Amino acid sequence: MNKIKTILLIIVFFVSLSQSDASTYIAGIDEAIDIAMKNSGELRAAEARFGVTEAQIFTANTPMNPVFIFDGGTGERTYRVGLQYILETGGKRKKRTLLARVQHEVTKDEINTKILDIKRNVRNCYIEVYAAQQREKYAKEMIEFADTLKKIEYKDPKTQVAVDDLQIETVIMNAEISMHTAHADVSPCRNKFNALMNYTLGHEFELGEPTLNTNLENLSSLTFEEHDLNLERLEKIAYENRPELKYYADSIEAAKRQLDVAKANLIPNVLLAAGPDFVQNNPPAWNSGGFLMAAIEIPIFDRQQGPIKEAIAAQNLSTSEYSWQKDQIQNDVKDAYTRVTALTQLIDRYNESLLARAQGLVDKALNDYNAGKSTIIVPLTAKETQINVQYSYIKALADYQSAVSDLERAIGTPL
């Protein structure tokens, strides 16, 4: 029985070990963003603060508790029991509740801003890791291509010269340097990616190729007038959804509500107490009746000077920041949209012709070399050109994803 348990434990150990080293595959940026959103401790903390402000609304709207009082004087033989209650004047509870609701909205704006920041960071980090992997892949591809050329049998041995072998070794050395450099870049990029997603990629992992945003893929076919209309629509969306703009607008409203609360606190509350009154005159005779007490604060020293000034200053600050943010929105949207448009056109050009043309050059150069019509420099140069085109394509994808992130951030909502 013990042997069976031992064997089972060994099997479980090796299965778990193989699973921990298993290759991880993430299909694309959207999947990476979903993982980050589910695992983000920062976002969970922001959502927890949202729950706190929601509870604060309930607290602000809760009336004060009455106080049970007892007054007993043995010398006077007077005994009183009753209830004491502070009557809030000036609509203080309503104003506190309105302030708490606005502060709740401010927290929601902060969460929306955090979500957009997470998406932008994940997208940029994803393309950074993907680009490093692709550089390593292309370098290996170059080495394999050069090795293939070394194995080709020449139809005419006289055409094989020493410079060919030297050229191949030079290309292989440069490719190996590029491969090792890219491999070294993958590790810190992966660690950064893991930290951002709060998720551990396997030792061997693969990322799917980033694609064009489905809502933006037809930008390259728009006319100049259509681009202007599209830009105008995006600016309108930004004014409606930009979290910072909503944050400052809600902050202005919160400052106004804070000012209302401070002014309401200028009005003194009234303390009321009432109940039965029992007096023992000549034992064992008792007289009974009732009592009523009232008290009101006299605002001589504290007239809410500090809270009023603070609320006015906060309102002025939020108003200035709102005005500045509104001026920035148009520039942010236009800059990001222009970059997305230009990069969409560039990526279309790569997909429609440049990548295929680069591959065609390699195929033709390799055929000519096999036929003894050229030296080895020609196919090597053609392959290096193809690799450079592929590098440039990856760079364009990276710039595009960065521009999409900036555009989403500029309009304040996912595209």
What are the pLDDT digits (tens) for 261-281?
888 888 888 888 888 888 877
Please, is 380 exposed, middle or buried when counting C-beta atoms within 10 Å of its C-beta (0-12, 13-18, 19+)? buried
Asked if residue 123 lies in contact with residue 405, where contact means CB atoms within 8 angstroms, the answer is: yes
Would 16 be classed as within a structural domain?
no
Q: Is residue 1 part of a domain?
A: no
Considering only 20-34, 50-64, 243-257, 371-385, which range has the smallest mean pLDDT?
A: 20-34
| Domains identified in the chain, total number | 1
Lowest mean pLDDT among 102-116, 147-161, 274-288, 393-407: 147-161
Q: Is residue 15 part of a domain?
A: no
Q: Which two tokens stand for residue 99?
A: 């302030």
Residue 84 inside a domain? The answer is yes
Contact criterion met (CB below 8 Å) for 261 and 96: yes
pLDDT, tens only, 322-341: 888 887 888 889 999 999 99
- Please give the residue that has the higher pLDDT: either 290 or 187: 290
Closest to 279 in 3D by CA, of 82, 83, 75, 84: 75
Kindly state whether residue 4 falls inside one of the protein's structural domains. Answer: no
- 377, 365 contact by CB (below 8 A): no
Residue 282, domain member (yes or no): yes
Indicate the pTM of the whole model: 0.67
Is residue 20 included in any domain, yes or no? no
Query: Is position 107 within any domain?
Result: yes
- Residue 22: its pLDDT value, please? 47
pLDDT of residue 161: 52
pLDDT 10s digits, 148-157 = 777 765 444 5
Which CATH number characterizes residue 136's domain? Answer: 1.20.1600.10
Q: Tens digit of pLDDT for each residue in 125-166?
A: 888 888 888 888 888 888 888 887 777 654 445 545 545 667
Percent of the residues in the chain that have a pLDDT greater than 90, as a whole number:
7
Classify strands 205-207 and 24-26 as parallel, antiparallel or unpaired.
parallel
Round to whole Å and give the CA distance between 146 and 387. 13
Report the mean per-residue pLDDT for the chain: 80
Q: What is the DSSP string of 227-265?
A: HHHHHHHHHHHHHHH-HHHHHHHHHHHHHHHHHHHHHHT
Q: What range defines the domain where residue 316 resides?
A: 25-411
Query: Using CA atoms, how far apart are residues 405 and 403, in angstroms rounded to an integer?
Result: 5
> Stretch 200-227: mean pLDDT, rounded?
78
